[in-house]
Structure 1
Amino acid sequence: MTETQTPQGKTTPADLDVTPRDIRFDLADAQKGHWLGGDPVGTAVFNALSLTFPDGERLFMDAVRNYRHLLTGKLLDDARNFIAQEAIHSREHHQLNSLIDRDRYPVAEIEETVRGRVKMARERGQMAMLLSTIALEHFTAMMAETHARHQDLFDKANPEVEKLWRWHAMEETEHKAVAYDVFMVATKDWSARRRYFTRCRAMFFVTIMFTRNICRYAARLLEADGYSPKAALKAVNAFVWDKPGVFSRGWKTYFAWYRPGFHPWDQDDRAAFAGWKAEFDAAAA
């Protein structure tokens, strides 16, 4: 068995199209405060995630673009469309982020921290950028799957903000294997053992850093709502790990990464997103 062939023989489905949907969302109501049904903790967690997206997704775009000269055929087309999707995601989350009350919340501080971390990732070189990308793309696909399975989380959210997160989740699932397939091409001369241990090591460190950073950013936002630092971090950790558990609910998908021969499309979850895809295909048209 090699890293290019999973036990089930799964690869990216040949009939899957990565489609950029240039949709704009009316997010003005996000200015009213706790857009997630009045919940300050959930709003802080998702705002913290959103604050990482513009710079983070530009990193993902460049990580794939760095290896575009190695790509041919459908994967080259998918890479181009991946970059286009991520550019639109970055634009829409920038809009959402701009509506957070910057006089009240430490938005500029968090954005500066994110930029510093992205800068460090870039300075580690092209392969390090790609490794960070494939690990974080798996994480976002896991959270997208959780969103599809537990839609009640956004039941009381502002409708346009809810649509933004559903659209993002659907497209993250659609392109979940693009960066991974680029990684497979970029490392075609590596042994399966080297590829496996390198990507597992990357996921281990990305998991620690990503979850820790999101919790810290969200806690800083909650402190502006009057929480003490200790109470804010406790509330955020309860939200992401316990109830509703936006990080922990998808643990089976997450741990699949550590299986030799893993491929993101070992789990074909297109059926779960078919309704959303039809909705946003129509909206884009």
Structure 2
Amino acid sequence: MTAAPAATKTTPDDLTVTPRDIHFATEAAHNKAWLGGDPVATAVFNAMSLTFPDGERLFMDAVRHYRGELSGKLLEDAKAFIKQEAIHSREHVALNGGLDRNHYPIDEIEAEIRDRIRVTRERGPIAMLCVTIALEHFTAMMADVTLEDGSVFEGTHEDILRLWQWHALEETEHKAVAFDVFQQVTASWKPRQRYFARARVMALVTILFTSNISRYASRLLIADGVSPWTARARVLWYLLFKPGLFRKGWRTYWAWYKPGFHPWDHDNRATIAQWQDRFAPDGAEPGTA
């Protein structure tokens, strides 16, 4: 007698993905070291923020492409995911707009980001979706750090702190939406094929994402007069050692490579509950799902 296959894991039924259309004041980020006076931490988060507008448009398009194959709660979650990412993109455009483009190589970095995203788009919808689920895993890891370890943003202006906390809350809420879409649209694939596809993409994304963020942050520091070698060393120390922004989420990261993994294996709905009252949703929603 053959055992029945295990049920596919999905986002918990009681988890609601809620777009919150909030406009944040970003003037405090015009300072060169807005993150607690730390130029390295500021450069790292500025580098990440520069990747978000175009990156999140990629995520939106990756999920939007498959809406016709979705139904029920997953379809509603996908629509809410798209709306959340549209608002995130808008707010990070505003945040990035305060950076001094005459001092920092912002235009060059953004051009490189757009070129990399263009290459991903040219590989087609399933490649876009695979990259999306891998990068969403990274953003969920960093959201954990933001919401659970307040020391990372110690000394940051309240306006900017709230923007990053809001972003982290919504990244946590929708951390499995693209993954659930991937599971749905690859339902006809063999489990091994699905596993190796996401494992290969994660390995590649890990190399590219970490190296790109470190390079972009280093270039921002170099513009402030730090030598190239010192800038790279200080950024890597920040990311991997102290405070270890990427290192802090290592358990969550490695869980990805377990067969049968689902993002909600790390169930942090309690964290969402602690934060959601601080960011009440507004009625208006930009963009079209």
What's the TM-score once normalised by structure 2's chain length? 0.94
Whether the 8 Å contact between 2:173 and 2:272 is mirrored in structure 1 is no
Aligned-partner residue type, residue 265 of structure 1? W
SS at match of 1:284: coil
The aligned counterpart of 1:77 is 76
Does the 8 Å contact 1:2/1:192 carry over to 2?
no
1:259 equivalent to 2:258? Answer yes
Equivalent residue, structure 1, for 2:188:
189
Alpha-carbon shift at residue 5 of structure 1 (Å) = 3.8
Residue in structure 1 matched with residue 275 of structure 2 by the alignment: 276
Post-superposition shift, 1:3? 9.3
Note the alpha carbon deviations across 1:80-115, whole angstroms, 9 max, x for none.
000000000000000000001111111111000000
Residue 34 (structure 1) shift: 1.0
Unaligned runs of 5+ in 2: 284-289
Q: Is the 8 A contact 1:3 1:260 kept in 2?
A: no
In the TM superposition, residue 267 of structure 1 has moved relative to its aligned partner by 1.2
Q: Distance in 1 between matches of 2:89 and 2:242?
A: 28
Post-superposition CA distance 1:3-60 (Å, at most 9, x none): 9747xxx531101111100000011121122110111100000000000000000000
Instruction: Identify the residue that residue 22 of structure 1 maps to in structure 2.
Output: 21
Counterpart check, 1:238 vs 2:226: no
Retained in 2: the 8 A contact 1:3–1:192? no
Partner of 1:50: 49
The equivalent residue for 1:66 is 65
Contact 1:44 1:222 in 2 (8 A): yes
Q: 1: CA distance between counterparts of 2:250 and 2:30?
A: 33
- Would the aligned equivalents of 2:214 and 2:236 in 1 still touch at CA under 8 Å? yes
The SS at the match of 1:249 is: helix
What does the per-residue CA deviation read over 1:195-253, in whole Å, with 9 as the maximum and x for residues that have no partner?
Answer: 00110001000000000000000000000111111110000000000001111110000
Q: Which residue of structure 2 lines up, in the alignment, with residue 132 of structure 1? A: 131
| Structure 2 Cα separation of the partners of residues 188 and 166 of structure 1 | 34
Task: Give the secondary-structure state (helix, strand or coil) at the position aligned to 1:188.
Answer: coil
What amino acid is the match of 2:282? A
Corresponding position of 1:158: 157
TM, length-normalised to structure 1: 0.96
- Residue pairs, 1:103-114, within 5 angstroms: 103-114=102-113
Amino acid at match of 1:72: S
Identity of matched residues, % = 59
Q: Report the alpha carbon displacement of residue 161 of structure 1 after superposing the two structures with TM.
A: 0.7
Cα gap change, 1:234/1:72 in structure 2, threshold over 3 Å: closer, same or farther? same
**Number of aligned residue pairs:** 281
The answer for unaligned runs of 5 or more in structure 1 is none
User: Which secondary structure state, in structure 1, belongs to the residue aligned with residue 277 of structure 2?
Assistant: helix
State the shift of 1:273 in Å. Answer: 2.8
Give distance in 2, aligned partners of 1:59 and 1:3.
33
Question: Is this contact kept in 1: 2:35–2:156, CA < 8 A?
Answer: yes
> Which aligned runs of 4 or more in structure 1 are off by greater than 3 angstroms?
1-6
Whether the 8 Å contact between 1:5 and 1:261 is mirrored in structure 2 is no
The letter for the 2-side match of 1:240 is L
Preserved CA contact (<8 Å) 1:26 1:160: yes
The residue identity in structure 1 corresponding to 2:182 is F
Q: Is the 8 A contact 2:78 2:177 kept in 1?
A: yes
Q: Aligned with 2:279: secondary structure?
A: helix
Change (3 A) 1:284 1:4: farther
- Code of the residue aligned with 2:125 in structure 1: it is Q
Query: Structure 1 residues 37 and 52, CA, compared in 2 at 3 Å: closer, same or farther?
Result: same
Superposed CA RMSD: 1.5
Mapping of 1:212-231 within 5 angstroms? 212-231=211-230
